[in-house]
Amino acid sequence: MPSNSDNTLPEFKFNLNNQSVRELPYGWAKQATVIDFPVSKNIAGVLMYLKPGGLRELHWHANAAEWGYVISGNVRTTIVDPEGRFEYNEFKEGDIWYFPRGHGHSIEGLSPEGTTFMLVFDNGSFSEFATFSLTDWLSQTPKEIVAKNLGLSQEELNSLPDKEVYIVPASENIGDKSENSSPLTHKYELMSQSPTHDHDGGKLWISSSVEFPISETITGAILQLNPGSLRELHWHPNADEWIYILSGKIRLTVFASSAKSSVVELEKGEVGYTPMGYGHSIENIGEEVCKIIVVFNSGVYEEISLTSWLSSNPESIVSGNLNLPPEIVKKLPKKEKFIISGKK
């Protein structure tokens, strides 16, 4: 059976695992951008690994804010804003960061075992022509200007890299203390919070700009579903949804209006995408608990679920619309279910 009901629909699934790796001595990165995954116009992702002491060099993104989730290990970030205010933070598994568009930052792996994290950007084309790295910049600038700017002689700059390094060893430990002169923190300990939704079938941890005020353009979440459980049919009026499967196996249904829809299965390492306003559901079809990173390109979280919608309407409307007898309509959920348990 074709995964799409209509071949004019794009693919809503992308295998990040199969992407070629940008491999460097101190780490690697794999990315899912709009180039390879055309439906993902507004959100892109990068899976990154840093060896101990590996530094994702100082850089900024001209067209996207960056949201990060630590999958395993520990990292330290530095960030500066246009007022010169800065923050250094350390992150553990389950913590997230948010860096506003254009703000200069770096990420350093601290764990002896290495550190893996997911970066998500609120622009599908964040990568090509829009990530500005320190070494790329300085190597593209006449040496005498760099020397003049830094108050050094050109000879003193002889060892400057002659092209972008991307990931390098960090030569010295700056110490383990967090420093902050920013009014708002860039760090949120997402998985240390109580879940926003806690049901028999699963849980959802949300961080919108309500919980994490600096995160003005992105809402991030972790969805955990027990085997057989369903994150019910719903849509988001204000945002696209990007998902990455950390563990388990799911079925994603996407309804694209006009008799068009898609049903795909996703496993660990795969990315799914649902454009703004498209109806969708996520069901755990595996044997294990599944854990999913969910990111929306709005700092305001909005959704309408099927059960909430139907239960808020008069029974006569639902009965007539769905051609269901009134006694059947009376059995429908009386309020939003959100997650429906797979347990019989």
Residues with a known catalytic role:
56, 59, 61, 66, 105, 128
Question: Taking the complex as a whole, how short is the minimal distance between the CB of residue 297 and Mn ion, in angstroms?
Answer: 12
Gap between the Cα atoms of 279 and 218, Å rounded: 20
| 58 burial type by CB count under 10 A (0-12 exposed, 13-18 middle, 19+ buried) | middle
Question: Per rule CB under 5 A, is residue 57 in the interface with Mn ion?
Answer: no
The string of DSSP codes covering 189-256 is: -GGGSPPSEEETTEEEEEE-TTTSTT-SS-EEEEEEE-TT-EEEEEE-TT--EEEEEEESEEEEEEE-
Size of the site for Mn ion (CB under 5 A): 2
Q: Which is nearer to Mn ion, 66 or 283 (CB)?
A: 66
Q: Which is nearer to Mn ion, 66 or 87 (CB)?
A: 66
CB of 314 to Mn ion, least distance (A): 27
Give least dist CB 230 to Mn ion, A.
Answer: 12
Stretch that binds Mn ion, among 63-71, 77-85, 207-215, 308-316 (CB under 5 A): 63-71
Judged by DSSP in three states, 148 sits in helix
Stretch that binds Mn ion, among 61-69, 71-79, 132-140, 169-177 (CB under 5 A): 61-69
Question: Alpha carbon of 329 to those of 78, 207, 321: distances in Å?
Answer: 55, 35, 11
CB of 56 to Mn ion, least distance (A): 7
How far apart (Å, rounded) are the C-alpha atoms in residues 2 and 11?
11
Rounded to whole angstroms, the Cα distance separating 73 from 21 reads: 20
81 vs 241, which CB is nearer to Mn ion? Answer: 241
Exposure pattern of 302-312 as b/e (b: 16+ CB <10 Å)? eeebbbbebbe
Stretch that binds Mn ion, among 62-70, 204-212, 251-259, 304-312 (CB under 5 A): 62-70
Stretch that binds Mn ion, among 29-37, 206-214, 236-244, 258-266 (CB under 5 A): 236-244
Out of 232, 240, 241, 270, point to the residue binding Mn ion (CB under 5 A): 241
What is the separation of C-alpha 26 from the centre of its chain, rounded to a whole number of angstroms? 23
57, 66, 81, 336: residue in contact with Mn ion (rule CB under 5 A): 66
Distance between the two ends of the chain, CA-based, in angstroms? Answer: 28
Q: Which is nearer to Mn ion, 51 or 186 (CB)?
A: 186
Residue 321 Cβ vs Mn ion, minimum distance, rounded to whole Å: 23
Note the residues at the interface with Mn ion (CB under 5 A): 66, 241
